[in-house]
Structure 1
């Protein structure tokens, strides 16, 4: 059995074929049994008068069984291989049947009312959210998505990706002029006093480094003094110079209005303006950009960047315990929980899905239903007959069985009425 959901199962073709053959044997057995009863009762009815009623019932049963066998068989093939008119209906009219079935599905199942009514009634977002919120399902979805993503990475040619990266870099990084863009960004930063934070960081690092490495300043000044100066003077000069530089840095750090800060602000503002409006400055930046563009390192950078990204992604996607996989699974669970708990979000998702389904149904219902028609048209007539007989043949055998029973009852009733009328008339 093939499971559709928790409540229904669909038998396989092998199971259907076995059931069909079993019911055919039952129906045929009833016909043979009726024939045997008819033969015995017909032979003995003169000696045992009441057997005439049995003979009539058996006779009616045979007529009903044969008639319904003919009717059922005529749907799928010529009875006994004889090409009787209006038999083998399904093989002869399979294309019409397929077209009718497609039209029926299109108008009765793919209508806006049916599809949207069903989608609105089942609460897709809540159901989807409940499924996604289960960690096992989230991990399964993440695993399947990882396999698909790794497949895409494998299919992507390295040279093609590198070409794309290089083209994008050239188009979006190198073709536009750099200088005006850099100048505009710099002007905004200076206008917002963002450069002061950078100056503070530089001064802080310089102060900390000088305090930690006072010897690094040694001899920087004394080496420029005359050789005849005593050594202790050299050391005093070096120490004094180091203290003065350190004091100067501390003064600049402590005073937001220090002349050095003002000078730096003025220089950066002038530089930002020159980058935007000075043709000479713009030309210098463009020459620098052209030199960079001509460098083979641009192509190498594209290749190295893609190789690094690809290797990192592939390793993370392949490892079930990687942070990427864990993060994706966690995100899936979180999305599922939100769909379950957030009624507003669930309503929005339901609306999006129903609107999307309505668009598809409204614009492509004929194409969707056409799949049925085209599929049936491609089927071989014999294949079509076998497929349909497997689906409904078992139930049709009950028609033969019922025909046998009804025929027996009808034969018995007719004979009984005829006998009674004859007796009354005599």
Structure 2
């Protein structure tokens, strides 16, 4: 345990920022302790301050080392011009000559420029010297306002309808998508991704939920519509076109085969229905005659297309079709039968079985790269890509659809999109945010201090020179 604690302390020490010369033993002052935010430390030029709360990565540590080096350079230049100013002033008082005045004026202006730019850079992230000077520590104190301004800027300049249309018009998504899809490897990739999505979606769906949704949809759809007129029209067209003839042929053939195999069953049925006072042999004679007549009738219906019974059946079906469409009693009976069927549990079992079979079939086809489903999907994508790549009218149509869809999303959800920026910035810790921003741009800001020192020195030299010329 002691060894683990020692290793943990060593890791923490390695993650601590390196101290500048002169920083040892000095603790940051002001509220926030070592947070690096407003009032986190005294803001002495060149002092980076400890990192704020939160996790700093290795990249942040590298940026911190670079920031510290640039602060050291800028502060070193300030110290250098201060030393030069002191020496030049001393030399001037000792009668070294006019050159000492020029050097002193340049060094003095360089110090003023360096201090002014140090104050400006430091005021972005903290109170200089820990003093609560107004309009300093801008980033920590104005963090939420900056987030709202950034969100407004993005909304006005990136999410406006004009910008979106102009950008999409220059991109020409229809042509690009077509050219990309026309390549077989890209079509294979899209097909594979679609298959993965289909498999994942079907596996996530629960059978009970799908069964309930489909069952409810089917029952609501069927129960809300009267089916009798539709069935009547279907039957009427079927009879008129002779579409029922094959069914009649099948029934007659099966009835003939059944009679041939079950002669005794027919005989027993006739004999069993005869009066008890008739002799047994008479009943058998009557049964045999009935069987032979029935077999002859069925055989003639099977073999003779123009049999009178077939014509009678056609008339019966046509009359029944008219009754289904126009007879109130028949329609009411059909509706009652429909309601009874919808309320039977077997219907839900049928839906569940059909869904299970359909899902298994789709999943199997999606997993098989050579299945007809995936091959057809790939061919459709290639065909669509080829058309998009060459058909200018289709490209324009897709471009308009894409622009309309994007603009609909942007117009309807612009507030939600920009609120992602503002809410995210608002949720950040002020001190940590300030420190992170300083790590990313602070190194470049130190060049302002360097430039301020150099430009200030040059400006001071020019002003002193002009003053000497005018006074002479």
Q: TM-score, normalised by structure 1?
A: 0.72
Divergent runs of 4+, >6 A: 216-220, 245-248
Structure 2 equivalent of residue 128 of structure 1: 177
Q: Shift of the alpha carbon at 1:47? A: 8.9
The one of 15, 36, 41 equivalent to 2:80 is 36
1:159 CA displacement:
1.9
Which residue of the partner structure matches residue 131 of structure 2?
82
Q: Deviations over 1:222-281 (max 9, x none)?
A: xx9xxxxxxxxxxxxx9xx99xx69983x64xxxx7767644533432232233345665
Alpha-carbon distance between aligned partners in 2 of 1:385 and 1:247, rounded to the nearest angstrom: 97
Partner in structure 2 of residue 190 of structure 1:
239
Cα RMSD after superposing both structures: 4.3
Question: Shift in Å at residue 360 of structure 1?
Answer: 4.0
The structure with the greater share of residues assigned to helix is 1
Provide the rounded CA distance (Å) in 2 between the counterparts of 1:172 and 1:359. Answer: 32
| Unaligned segments of structure 2, at least 5 residues | 1-55, 268-291
1:399: which partner in 2?
448
Q: CA deviation at 1:354?
A: 2.1
| 1-structure distance, mates of 2:339, 2:80 | 104
For residue 112 of structure 2, what is the aligned residue in structure 1? 63
Give the Cα–Cα distance (whole angstroms) in 1 for the partners of residues 364 and 334 of structure 2.
Answer: 40
The 2-side partners of 1:78 and 1:377 are apart by 21
Of 50-59 and 382-391, the range deviating more from structure 2: 50-59
Tell whether 2:430 aligns with 1:386: no
Rounded Cα–Cα distance in structure 2 between residues aligned with 1:48 and 1:134? 82
Cα gap change, 1:334 to 1:405, in 2 (>3 Å)? farther
Change in CA separation of 1:30 and 1:382 when aligned onto 2, cut-off 3 Å: closer
| Contact 2:85/2:108 (8 A) holds in 1 | no
1:106 corresponds to: 155
State whether residues 135 and 333 of structure 1, in contact with CA within 8 Å, keep that contact through their aligned partners in structure 2. yes
Match of 2:50 in 1: none
Stretch of structure 1 that moved more, 38-47 or 153-162: 38-47
Distance in 1, matches of 2:150 and 2:318, equals 77
Instruction: Report how far residue 86 of structure 1 moved.
Output: 1.8
Q: Deviations over 1:190-241 (max 9, x none)?
A: 3344445x479859x97xxx9xx9xx98998xxx9xxxxxxxxxxxxx9xx9
Structure 1 residue 187: Cα displacement: 0.8
- The answer to whether the 8 A contact 1:116-1:354 is kept is yes
Alignment-derived partner of residue 376 in structure 2? 327
The answer to whether the 8 Å contact 1:20/1:393 transfers is no
Q: CA deviation at 1:25?
A: 2.0
- For 2:69, which of 25, 34, 40 is the aligned residue? 25
**Cα shift at 1:74:** 0.2
Shifted more, 150-159 versus 90-99: the winner is 150-159
Which residues in structure 2 correspond to 1:162-173 (within 5 Å)? 162-173=211-222
Q: Indicate the SS of the match to 1:84.
A: coil
Displacement after TM superposition at 1:382 (Å): 2.0
2:389 to 336, 340, 346: 340
1:412 correspondence with 2:456? no
Deviation at 1:344, TM superposition (A): 0.8
CA distance in 2, matches of 1:90, 1:152: 46
Note the C-alpha offset of 1:120.
Answer: 1.9
Between 311-320 and 339-348, report the one with greater CA deviation. 311-320
Deviation at 1:68, TM superposition (A): 0.9
Segment of structure 1 superposing worse, 275-284 or 351-360: 275-284
Paired residues, number: 383
Of structures 1 and 2, the one with the larger relative CO (CA 8 A, separation 6+) is 1
CA deviations over 1:27-59 (Å, ceiling 9, x no partner): 531431452365267447459755665554444
1:141 and 2:190 aligned: yes
Instruction: Report the Cα distance in structure 1 between the residues aligned to 2:404 and 2:426, rounded to whole angstroms.
Output: 32
Q: Which whole-Å CA distance do the structure 2 matches of 1:82 and 1:55 have between them?
A: 30
Measured in 2, the distance between the counterparts of 1:80 and 1:317 equals 68
Distance apart, 1:69 and its partner CA: 1.6
Could you tell me how far 1:186 is from its partner in structure 2? Answer: 0.8
